[in-house]
Chain A
């Protein structure tokens, strides 16, 4: 930005000087040092310098095809280019401002460096005392290693001699070349990363990456951090990403932070960020994980989700799916389905079985579609975590409408598909093959707001695994979810346990409308949390419009013209309401809404631990029913509050109701893809947290608090 302005300002000056003092203007490029491999020069953005100014010079290496020179960390072999400066007038030179390197494979090794022509910019500071009329001599004794397969160390002394004038004189062409390079230097990242142990490997957490970033590669400045040639696997959660890095065989971290350059592609363009990451204290000073660990080396606790075996994840997923059946949003749908079986059972057992299998198909297809979406979006680098769909207010509202319609249907306010099925059993008990399939799909849709216990770890595992493994975990979840209904359809014995169909069925059916309305109210509350009063208005208008539409379709059924007109009106109303919802339900930024608790940040945890305070972190979201249940039955109980007060536990809340990359990153760090997650950090610096189960009891929390406060010996070493 500054450059075209400078050029315009200085052009007349250059001309004037050229006319007035022809001897003053100098070539702003030194004579070259040449080898068959590299032609090196020193380029200056100034023809004349002014006292007190800073300006840019660059070491230019024109490298022959097939050869390369090296970045600050040369990778598996090689040596970075170095410059030793001798400057007159007391001028000083900065370090080399390194452009982003390229990974240059020399199978099976990898070097970090440059090919083609590279400019290595250096900033020169001219002291204010520099004497006008004298010369500023810049002497760069540069050494570099240039390699193809073989390596040649080269060196050269490059000298520039610039006049010191009262006003600086820019060399437009040179300045444009140097500034062009500087514009592409790695930009400071707008976030701090975090480096943690992940078993034998390292995990570099990167919050706040652009959603479309792909092809991530981290180039550490230190050459003793990572195995340079190893693949860097990325996983994403929300707009946070984590790179899995293999440790260097000479692994060593000196301080509390590491730095490096992250390169990635975004919409076809190569980009680079300069990243600094805080280092998990357990890694500092640690040597490469030794085969026989000495007693003094602390082994970091593995993250729960990341450490699950496939079998355990499958088992957890299956159990989680099974429990999902009991969730208040799902139970009514399934119960009505079961009642439908009971009715059908009078007619034909084979028909019941067929219905059961079609229900299973509906569940599997819908689950797999959702899982594929979750995993693929993650792989494409878009977003993701389980429950992510509930971070969108319009989707929450849509679910509220679905719940309301199911409720109205159960009450008998309208019926669907009467003409097709012949008998009006209503939405959930709709006869016919399509009906059974759709019931399965509907059950999955209404189940999405509920994360059952055991599901968290399994889904966390699923999204961090290769797609096929991940899908198999979701498949197990779907099978567990479908099991009760399918079992019912195959076991006439079970069906016989149900009372004979009669009036009680109608009453129960109507009664089940109310859990659905309750779920709808809860979802509308979620929308209010996400989008404020506008969200509530949008949700209620959507419910009203949906109710109107089904009523309209109902009353005009039968008459051809009336039906056409009402369908048209229905479509119009539905579209209008949909547009209104999308317009008004804009999420608000989630901020401190934690009541008597404090808002979580990773820095806060570190600071509190350093003070010796145990820390409890509740990762929650308004749309997470398990989270709310836990808060009600355990976390807000008096005995828990008392224990926290007595043990000086600090209660931090991380609210994931709306998107938050820091929280997504913290979840990913524990191998999770969604909430709830409860962590208890002991009150000592850098100590690893204990992960509490997803269903809490007051006892459990109090005992964990005692453990974290060191009042009780940890019995179960995980």
Chain B
């Protein structure tokens, strides 16, 4: 009995010594939360200009995480769905910011010139393309996929985060009859109504994160 107890205690002691707390990954603590102020950021755009979220105060802002080589992103661009959405939003006075978070050497990484060329060749219409090669903005928002959409209302509050539509597929056929969560949220915001589906599960390729420096 006694020897048994001593051994138990020893094992217990060892277990305690070896016990380490699993730290929750950084994304679990990302500040992006529906109804809370959208995380502030500062990033250089494809023209080399430093842009801040605060400069768009008073306007609705859409963040679009993108990676031009991701098949899910390609579905929305080759069909021109994304460009149409960007233009329609611009007409509504909404500021559209495309965010590229791939670090150097990863799929989707571009420099400013390449980003501008992509905008031109695809006939896209973002207000600006933000380059986030250190994935800082992505971490602040907890972006997981490309595309991943965020809508910030004129008061700077996060009003929507999630998928671009309700058809999680890379196949072009899935665009037909898809419900655009972005159009729905913007229309509801404009009508002064609460966003009915404020957070959905984003789908697509994983955002290629830069290692934490």
**Do A and B truly interact?**
yes
Chain B residue nearest to A155 (CB atoms) is B171
- Which residue of the partner chain, among A108, A153, A292, contacts B35 with CB atoms under 8 Å? A292
Interface contact B15-A380, CB-CB below 8 Å: yes
Chain B residue nearest to A228 (CB atoms) is B144
From 16 to 41 in chain B, residues with beta carbon under 8 angstroms from any chain A beta carbon are: 16, 19, 21-28, 32-36
Interface digits, B70-106 against A, CB 8 Å rule (1 contact, 0 not)? 1110000000000000000000000000000000001
Asked if B211 is an interface residue, CB under 8 A from chain A, the answer is: yes
Could you tell me the distance in whole angstroms from the C-beta of B213 to the nearest C-beta in chain A? Answer: 13
Interface contact A107-B211, CB-CB below 8 Å: yes
Specify which of A79, A248, A290, A379 lies most central, judged by the most chain B CB atoms within 10 Å of its CB. Answer: A79
Interface contact B201-A223, CB-CB below 8 Å: yes
Asked if A487 is an interface residue, CB under 8 A from chain B, the answer is: no
Asked if B187 is an interface residue, CB under 8 A from chain A, the answer is: no
Please indicate the chain A residues that have their CB under 8 angstroms from the CB of B188 in the complex: none
From 168 to 213 in chain A, residues with beta carbon under 8 angstroms from any chain B beta carbon are: none
Interface contact B12-A372, CB-CB below 8 Å: yes
Interface digits, A376-419 against B, CB 8 Å rule (1 contact, 0 not)? 11011000000000000000000000000000000000000000
Interface contact B209-A108, CB-CB below 8 Å: yes
21 contacts between A and B (CB under 8 A): A111-B206, A143-B171, A145-B170, A149-B106, A149-B107, A150-B107, A151-B72, A151-B206, A153-B170, A153-B171, A230-B24, A249-B142, A287-B34, A288-B33, A288-B199, A290-B33, A290-B35, A372-B12, A372-B16, A375-B16, A376-B16
Please indicate the chain B residues that have their CB under 8 angstroms from the CB of A249 in the complex: 32-33, 142, 161-162, 199
Asked if B145 is an interface residue, CB under 8 A from chain A, the answer is: yes
Measured CA separation A229–B30 after assembly (Å)? 12
Q: Is the interface of A mostly helix, strand, loop or mixed?
A: loop
Q: Known contacts A249-B142, A380-B11; decide if A108 and B26 are in contact (CB<8 Å).
A: yes
- Which residue of the partner chain, among A109, A143, A145, A231, contacts B207 with CB atoms under 8 Å? A109
From 61 to 110 in chain A, residues with beta carbon under 8 angstroms from any chain B beta carbon are: 76-79, 106-109
Interface digits, B34-53 against A, CB 8 Å rule (1 contact, 0 not)? 11100000000000000000
Asked if A147 is an interface residue, CB under 8 A from chain B, the answer is: yes
Q: Known contacts A149-B107, A380-B15; decide if A109 and B209 are in contact (CB<8 Å).
A: yes
Interface digits, A462-506 against B, CB 8 Å rule (1 contact, 0 not)? 000011000000000000000000000000000000000000000
Asked if B115 is an interface residue, CB under 8 A from chain A, the answer is: no
Please indicate the chain B residues that have their CB under 8 angstroms from the CB of A109 in the complex: 27, 144, 206-207, 209
From 287 to 333 in chain A, residues with beta carbon under 8 angstroms from any chain B beta carbon are: 287-288, 290-292, 294
Measured CA separation A705–B171 after assembly (Å)? 60
Measured CA separation A151–B24 after assembly (Å)? 26
Chain A residue nearest to B72 (CB atoms) is A151
How many A-B Cβ pairs are below 8 Å? 131
Please indicate the chain A residues that have their CB under 8 angstroms from the CB of B208 in the complex: 149
Chain B residue nearest to A290 (CB atoms) is B35
Asked if B186 is an interface residue, CB under 8 A from chain A, the answer is: no
Interface contact B9-A77, CB-CB below 8 Å: no
Interface contact A153-B199, CB-CB below 8 Å: no
Q: Known contacts A287-B198, A287-B199; decide if A77 and B204 are in contact (CB<8 Å).
A: yes
Measured CA separation A153–B205 after assembly (Å)? 10
Asked if B200 is an interface residue, CB under 8 A from chain A, the answer is: yes
Asked if B168 is an interface residue, CB under 8 A from chain A, the answer is: yes
- Which residue of the partner chain, among B27, B142, B161, B205, contacts A147 with CB atoms under 8 Å? B205
Q: Known contacts A372-B12, A372-B13, A379-B15; decide if A79 and B145 are in contact (CB<8 Å).
A: no
Interface contact B203-A79, CB-CB below 8 Å: yes
Interface contact A288-B205, CB-CB below 8 Å: no
Asked if A514 is an interface residue, CB under 8 A from chain B, the answer is: no
Please indicate the chain A residues that have their CB under 8 angstroms from the CB of B117 in the complex: none
Asked if A167 is an interface residue, CB under 8 A from chain B, the answer is: no
Measured CA separation A108–B72 after assembly (Å)? 20
Q: Which 6 A-B pairs have the closest CB atoms?
A: A376-B12, A291-B36, A77-B206, A153-B170, A231-B22, A230-B28
Asked if A29 is an interface residue, CB under 8 A from chain B, the answer is: no
Interface contact B27-A108, CB-CB below 8 Å: yes
Interface contact B203-A77, CB-CB below 8 Å: yes
Chain B residue nearest to A377 (CB atoms) is B12
Q: Known contacts A249-B142, A291-B35; decide if A230 and B13 are in contact (CB<8 Å).
A: no
Asked if A38 is an interface residue, CB under 8 A from chain B, the answer is: no
Chain B residue nearest to A293 (CB atoms) is B35
Measured CA separation A292–B206 after assembly (Å)? 30
Measured CA separation A77–B208 after assembly (Å)? 11
Asked if A239 is an interface residue, CB under 8 A from chain B, the answer is: no
Asked if A152 is an interface residue, CB under 8 A from chain B, the answer is: yes
Please indicate the chain B residues that have their CB under 8 angstroms from the CB of A107 in the complex: 25, 209, 211
Interface contact B206-A76, CB-CB below 8 Å: yes
Interface digits, A270-294 against B, CB 8 Å rule (1 contact, 0 not)? 0000000000000000011011101
Interface contact A379-B206, CB-CB below 8 Å: no
A interface residues (Cβ-Cβ under 8 A, vs B): 76-79, 106-109, 111, 143, 145, 147, 149-153, 223-224, 227, 229-231, 233, 246, 248-251, 287-288, 290-292, 294, 369, 372-373, 375-377, 379-380, 466-467
Interface contact B28-A227, CB-CB below 8 Å: yes
Interface contact B34-A290, CB-CB below 8 Å: yes
Could you tell me the distance in whole angstroms from the C-beta of A36 to the nearest C-beta in chain B? Answer: 16
Could you tell me the distance in whole angstroms from the C-beta of A211 to the nearest C-beta in chain B? Answer: 14
Asked if B123 is an interface residue, CB under 8 A from chain A, the answer is: no
Asked if B8 is an interface residue, CB under 8 A from chain A, the answer is: yes
Measured CA separation A106–B209 after assembly (Å)? 9
Please indicate the chain A residues that have their CB under 8 angstroms from the CB of B16 in the complex: 372, 375-376, 379, 467
Could you tell me the distance in whole angstroms from the C-beta of B103 to the nearest C-beta in chain A? Answer: 11
Chain B residue nearest to A78 (CB atoms) is B206
- Which residue of the partner chain, among B8, B33, B169, B203, contacts A291 with CB atoms under 8 Å? B33
Measured CA separation A153–B202 after assembly (Å)? 17
Please indicate the chain A residues that have their CB under 8 angstroms from the CB of B204 in the complex: 77
Q: Known contacts A150-B69, A229-B25; decide if A288 and B206 are in contact (CB<8 Å).
A: no
Interface contact A153-B71, CB-CB below 8 Å: yes
From 165 to 184 in chain B, residues with beta carbon under 8 angstroms from any chain A beta carbon are: 168-171
Interface contact A147-B206, CB-CB below 8 Å: yes
**Known interface pairs A111-B206, A149-B106, A249-B162; 11 further A-B residue pairs with C-beta atoms within 8 A, sorted by A's residue number:** A109-B207, A147-B205, A150-B69, A246-B24, A246-B28, A249-B32, A249-B33, A250-B201, A291-B33, A373-B12, A380-B12
Please indicate the chain B residues that have their CB under 8 angstroms from the CB of A467 in the complex: 16, 19
Chain B residue nearest to A232 (CB atoms) is B22
Could you tell me the distance in whole angstroms from the C-beta of A635 to the nearest C-beta in chain B? Answer: 37
Measured CA separation A375–B171 after assembly (Å)? 52
Please indicate the chain A residues that have their CB under 8 angstroms from the CB of B162 in the complex: 249-250
Measured CA separation A145–B12 after assembly (Å)? 45
Interface contact A229-B34, CB-CB below 8 Å: no
Chain A residue nearest to B138 (CB atoms) is A108
Please indicate the chain A residues that have their CB under 8 angstroms from the CB of B207 in the complex: 77, 109
Measured CA separation A287–B22 after assembly (Å)? 27
Please indicate the chain B residues that have their CB under 8 angstroms from the CB of A153 in the complex: 71, 170-171
Please indicate the chain B residues that have their CB under 8 angstroms from the CB of A77 in the complex: 144-145, 202-207
Chain B residue nearest to A73 (CB atoms) is B201
Please indicate the chain A residues that have their CB under 8 angstroms from the CB of B12 in the complex: 372-373, 375-377, 380
Please indicate the chain B residues that have their CB under 8 angstroms from the CB of A251 in the complex: 199
Please indicate the chain B residues that have their CB under 8 angstroms from the CB of A294 in the complex: 194
Interface contact A151-B205, CB-CB below 8 Å: yes
Interface contact A466-B21, CB-CB below 8 Å: yes
Interface contact B27-A231, CB-CB below 8 Å: no
Measured CA separation A246–B29 after assembly (Å)? 10
Please indicate the chain A residues that have their CB under 8 angstroms from the CB of B203 in the complex: 77, 79
Measured CA separation A375–B16 after assembly (Å)? 8
- Which residue of the partner chain, among B25, B70, B201, B211, contacts A224 with CB atoms under 8 Å? B201
Measured CA separation A538–B25 after assembly (Å)? 54
Could you tell me the distance in whole angstroms from the C-beta of A370 to the nearest C-beta in chain B? Answer: 10
Could you tell me the distance in whole angstroms from the C-beta of A54 to the nearest C-beta in chain B? Answer: 30
